[in-house]
């Protein structure tokens, strides 16, 4: 009796499937970033020359009102993508690099 081997058309994309809790965490973060305003805000903060951005400097580039910008910054902060530091009446935001790295890795695999 002759044994035939089956050629595999392609290699698996991932070594291991992601766990359910990891999938939920990634989905929540990507859901936050599915809003174009929030994605743009994250980009503006990430590319700020001082490594941080004042909320007062984010209103004009977005063409949105201060309350709208503040709302979106809060959503990004709650998702762990930004940190917030209050200085007087202004809030300054920084990207959380480890959090972005997790999202980048999820897309790269």
The number of helix segments (H) and strand segments (E) in the chain equals: 5, 3
Q: How far apart are CA 96 and CA 80, in angstroms?
A: 7
How do residues 48-86 score in pLDDT, each as one tens digit?
999 999 999 999 999 999 999 999 999 999 999 999 999
The region that residue 68 occupies, defined by phi over 0 for left and psi between -120 and 50 for alpha, beta otherwise, is: alpha
Tell me which CATH code domain 20-108 carries: 1.10.10.10
How do residues 35-52 score in pLDDT, each as one tens digit?
999 999 999 999 999 999
Contacts of 14 by beta carbon, 8 Å cutoff, 6+ apart: 109
β-pair type (90-95, 82-87):
antiparallel
Around Cβ 95, how many Cβ atoms within 10 Å? 20
For the whole model, what pTM was predicted?
0.82
Q: How far apart are CA 28 and CA 18, in angstroms?
A: 15
Q: Where does the pLDDT of residue 105 fall: very low under 50, low under 70, confident under 90, or very high at 90 and above?
A: confident
């Amino acid at each position: 009796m002759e044994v035939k081997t089956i050629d595999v058309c392609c290699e698996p994309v991932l070594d291991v499937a992601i766990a359910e809790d990891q999938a939920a965490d990634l989905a929540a973060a990507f859901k936050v970033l599915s809003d174009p305003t929030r994605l743009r805000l994250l980009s503006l903060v990430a590319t700020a020359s001082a490594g941080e951005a004042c909320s007062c400097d984010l209103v004009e580039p977005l063409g949105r009102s201060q309350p709208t910008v503040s709302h979106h910054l809060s959503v990004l902060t709650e998702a762990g993508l930004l940190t917030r530091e209050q200085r007087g009446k202004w809030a300054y935001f920084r990207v959380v690099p480890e959090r972005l790295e997790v999202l980048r890795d999820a897309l790269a695999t």
